[in-house]
Amino acid sequence: MKSAKQRIGEIIAVLYKAYPKSRTVLRFESPHQILVATILSAQCTDERVNQITPSLFKKHPTPHDFASADPKVLEMEIKSTGFFRNKTKSIIGASKKIVEDFDGAVPDNMEDLLTLPGVARKTANIVLSSAFQKAEGIAVDTHVKRLSQRLGLSKENVPDKIEQDLIAIVPKKDWIDFNYMLVLHGRRVCPSRKPRCPECQLRHLCPSASEFYPENELNIPKSFR
């Protein structure tokens, strides 16, 4: 099979055709809301986050409100997302820094976002792409990590190293869409336990397909083998 650099153009083209309007499913109306929602989404489904954020954002409409929130009360409000104590510390801590150091406005660059408590590159990338339409990297969540490895785009296990491998081969103009398309593909076709390789549009470009299914079930034309 061709190298990752040789295959990436076709992989991206297939993904664009399958997911032409891919965007985060997290619901938000401001940069701070997508920041909070992304923090909540760690080890939690986006669906669960979307269930609790309407009332959460109504009660705490601004960074100032989150910064002054009672930690014990906020913990109970977000408890269903899991890891609620750490998430509460991150949300309140990030909100306080936004209020104190950035005049209440979420920073629109990677360097400043990474100074916020609880914010690493994945969260920063999602905030930048979703709220500001800026591409300073490629967010690597569990879906992007899994598919990057299965597609042979990275052999790394650390998200930051996977991101660097992706940045090296994915054109910058596609960075924002690439994350969202891989997330959707991971959810719909390539889940962690049992990928549906026979129906996958990328099976002829994926070195892992034959690990899950015998060749006769994949129905890959000889020209792609």
DSSP conformation letters of 50-105 = HHHHHHHHHHS-SHHHHHT--HHHHHHHHGGGS-HHHHHHHHHHHHHHHHHHSTT-
Give start-end residues of each CATH 1.10.340.30 domain in the chain.
31-105
Rounded-to-integer distance, Cα 216 and Cα 92, Å: 54
Q: Angle, to 10 degrees, between the axis of helix 71-78 and the axis of helix 84-101?
A: 120
Rounded-to-integer distance, Cα 207 and Cα 162, Å: 17
Please say whether the beta carbons of 135 and 175 come within 8 A: yes
Confidence check: pLDDT of 216 > 80:
no
Residues carrying an active site annotation: 122, 141
pLDDT-derived band of residue 210, with 50, 70 and 90 as boundaries?
confident
Confidence check: pLDDT of 225 > 60:
no
Q: Residue 71 CB: number of other CB atoms within 10 A?
A: 12
Nearest to 1 by CA among 180, 10, 18, 182: 10
Alpha carbon of residue 131 to chain centroid: 14
Instruction: Look up residue 70 and give its two tokens.
Output: 């009672």
Confidence check: pLDDT of 208 > 70:
yes
State the CATH architecture for 4-22+139-224.
Answer: Orthogonal Bundle (1.10)
Alpha carbon of residue 173 to chain centroid: 17
Mapping DSSP to helix (H, G, I), strand (E, B) and coil, where does residue 115 land? coil
pLDDT-derived band of residue 154, with 50, 70 and 90 as boundaries?
very high
The structure's pTM equals 0.90
CATH homologous superfamily of 31-105? Hypothetical protein; domain 2 (1.10.340.30)
